Amino acid sequence: MKRIISPSMLSSDFGHLERDTLMVDASVAEWVHIDVMDGVFVPNISFGFPVMASIRRATSKPLDVHLMIVQPERYVARFAEAGASLITVHHEAVSDMPSCISLIHDSGSLAGVSIKPATPVSVLEPYLHLLDLVLIMSVEPGFGGQSFIEGSFDKVRELRRIIDERNLSTLIEIDGGISDSNARAAFDAGCNVLVAGAAVFHAPDPAAEIEKLLNA
């Protein structure tokens, strides 16, 4: 099964953003995870377009943009223009998901939907066939460096079963508290894409840590 590591730039050193992006660019990570927070959908504010543009300039790898914002439809086109390859919105933030997914595809990006820890996998079923990716949050969205919520792999296994049964090619991504201690279990549960922030950027050798996650 396809394995991808997507390091979360939220845990990078913003004073050395180019250096940290170049590190990811030279590593075995296939994607670069960009966490956008608005202080409304989540109790934190991260960064927006200018910072994302700086990251875009330092790497040609796909930008995996995770929008933790209310009414993400308003900004889909601007994130696509800023270089997003994949735009993931939250189920909890969107009322008409099929329209939002069309908007993302029309912008030229792949479309993902994320669910928070308390949101069941079943909410995805009506529009799962329209998606390129589902992002399972394994911490409450808003902050890097939190502990993995046990039970998140049960949701991954359930989603993997549905995707396989329906013969879909939707990727499963997991985000929050991923490290070399649970990366193997994440892949075994059926994940394709692992997001890792603190585990990568707080490691003594971040590029080696990315490789460890990929080969877990």
Where does this chain bind ligand DX5 (CB under 6 A)? 8, 10-11, 33, 35, 66, 139, 141-146, 175-178, 195-199
3-state secondary structure of 55: helix
136/121 Cα distance (integer angstroms):
9
Of the pair 151, 165, the CB lying nearest ligand DX5 is at: 151
Altogether, the residues listed in the chain come to a count of 216
Q: How far is the CB of 83 from ligand DX5 (least distance, A)?
A: 18
176/164 Cα distance (integer angstroms):
24
Other Cβ atoms closer than 10 A to 213: 27
Half-sphere exposure of 11 (CA within 13 A, CB side): 24
Cβ pair 88, 68 in contact under 8 A: no
Q: Which of 61, 66, 90, 160 binds Zn ion (CB under 5 A)?
A: 66
- Contact status: 173 vs Zn ion (CB under 5 A): no
- Contact status: 35 vs Zn ion (CB under 5 A): yes
Of the pair 149, 168, the CB lying nearest ligand DX5 is at: 149
Q: How far is the CB of 52 from ligand DX5 (least distance, A)?
A: 14
Q: Which residues are catalytic?
A: 35, 175
Of the pair 20, 175, the CB lying nearest Zn ion is at: 175
